Amino acid sequence: MNMGRTLDIAPLRSLVAVADCGGFQRAATSLHLSQAAVSQHVRRLEAATGRALVERQGRGSRLTPDGETLLAQARRLLAIHDETLRDFGVAADKTIVIGSTEHAAAQLLPPLAAALERSLPEHQIRFRLDRGTKLRERLDAGGVDLALLLGPAADPRATPVGDLDLHWYAATMWQRPPGTSPIPLVAFDHPCALRTRALETLSSHGLPAVIGAEAIQLAGVQAAVGAGLGVALMATLRQTPDGLVPRDDLPAPRPLPLAVWARQGLAETITWQVADALRTLLAEWSSTDAGGLHLAKGA
């Protein structure tokens, strides 16, 4: 056995983040690292183990069987590592895990992270990207501290921060069906607030619709739309996805509320800080119209 090989803590954290977040870029966002740094961490683990740990899958990536084996061990090692530090009173970094859906994450999360570094300097901020239903489950289980969710916010755990404008997108070659033919929709798997709003919008204007394609992740929705399988309703802060075009010939949908949901027991001051940071960001976008996103009155 080569005793010169070691498994360092930082690369192990990156591997776990790649698995939990579903890719290198999302892992980098959650860890406040560059994508190159996360990739280098995985390569160091592959060099130490002599095994391929991650492989490409379409536009994303997945763990190999050896990667899954190391992932299980990594979780154990990190748990022991962190517990040991806590036993010695070295738990200086107070981590806040914020869950978010993928909608507009590329535009929203980087400035939010920067704003929270200023308003919560004593805390480390980590992000978790997932489906809204999964984030609610993690919130109930204590797996995330806060969740940024679209949709009704009547729950006492939710603090409304504003409304997100929604827009229709299609492939450049997509043609709207003539007459009363159903409009094919590309949608996220049920349940999904965007899916519901799309169907409601068309129905309220007497337009029939049919689900032409479904996907569990944003990349899948955008790929299906790009392939011409239908039109999709998205919250993109008017940042048109590559290869797609906005469609103004369909009924304008009502915006969806965005709210910060807090887990039970989280200090209210933290929720307020995150909510205030989001309101400030949305107000800045509204005043400049740079992203085309506006706040609802009184939000």
Domain residue ranges in the chain: 9-87, 94-163+256-288, 167-246
Please check whether the two domains, 9-87 and 94-163+256-288, share a CATH topology: no
**How many C-beta neighbours within 10 Å does residue 126 have?**
21
Q: Please compute the mean of the pLDDT values over residues 1-14 and round it to a whole number.
A: 78
Q: Please compute the mean of the pLDDT values over residues 224-250 and round it to a whole number.
A: 89
SS3 category, 23? coil
Q: Candidates 3.40.190.10, 3.10.310.10, 2.60.450.10, 2.60.40.10; correct CATH number of 94-163+256-288?
A: 3.40.190.10
Q: Is the pLDDT of residue 278 over 50?
A: yes
Q: Is the pLDDT of residue 290 over 50?
A: no
What pLDDT is stored for residue 298 in this prediction?
28
Q: Please compute the mean of the pLDDT values over residues 152-156 and round it to a whole number.
A: 79
Positive/negative CA dihedral, 61, 216, 135, 132: positive
Residue 70 · residue 50 · CB < 8 Å:
no
Strand partners for 246: 169
SS3 category, 204? helix
Please tell us whether the domain made up of 167-246 is placed in CATH 3.40.50.960.
no
> Residue 56: pLDDT band by 50, 70, 90 thresholds?
confident
What pLDDT is stored for residue 288 in this prediction?
55
Q: Is the pLDDT of residue 262 over 80?
A: yes
CA 205, CA 211: separation in Å to the nearest integer? 17
Which two three-digit tokens encode residue 100?
A: 């978010």
For residue 208, what is the DSSP state?
-
Residue 42 · residue 11 · CB < 8 Å:
yes
CA 96, CA 82: separation in Å to the nearest integer? 15
Residue percentage of the chain with pLDDT more than 90: 36
Residue 159 · residue 262 · CB < 8 Å:
yes
Residue with the bigger pLDDT between 131 and 72: it is 72
Strands (E), the chain: 54-57, 60-63, 94-100, 123-129, 146-150, 158-164, 167-171, 183-188, 209-215, 232-234, 244-246, 256-262
Q: Candidates 2.60.120.10, 1.10.10.10, 2.40.10.10, 3.40.50.150; correct CATH number of 9-87?
A: 1.10.10.10
CA 70, CA 135: separation in Å to the nearest integer? 25
pTM passes above 0.85: no
What pLDDT is stored for residue 91 in this prediction?
57
CA 62, CA 264: separation in Å to the nearest integer? 33
